[in-house]
Structure 1
Amino acid sequence: MRNYLRNWSFMRVLRLALGIFIVVQGIMTKEWLIVGLGGLFSLMPLMNIGCCGVSGCSTSVPRSNKKTEDITYEEVR
Structure 2
Amino acid sequence: MKDTILTGWNFMRFLRLGIGLYVLIQSLLNAQYMLAFVGGLFIFQAVMNMGCAACAATPAAKVNPNSNPDEVSFEEIK
Stretches of structure 1 lacking an aligned partner (at least 5 in a row):
62-77
- Normalising by structure 2, report the TM-score: 0.62
Q: Which fold has the larger relative contact order, with Cα–Cα distance below 8 Å and residues 6 or more apart in sequence?
A: 2
Identity %: 31
Deviation at 1:58, TM superposition (A): 1.5
Q: How does 1:6-17 map to 2 (within 5 A)?
A: 6-17=7-18
- The Cα shift of 1:60 comes to 6.3
Q: What residue number does 2:25 align with? A: 24
Q: What per-residue deviation string (whole Å, max 9, x for no partner) do you get for residues 5-44 of structure 1?
A: 3310011111101101000000111000011110011100
Superposition TM-score, scaled by structure 1 size: 0.62
1:1-77 aligned within 5 A = 4-52=5-53, 57-59=57-59
Q: How many residues align?
A: 59
Quote the RMSD (CA, aligned, Å): 2.8
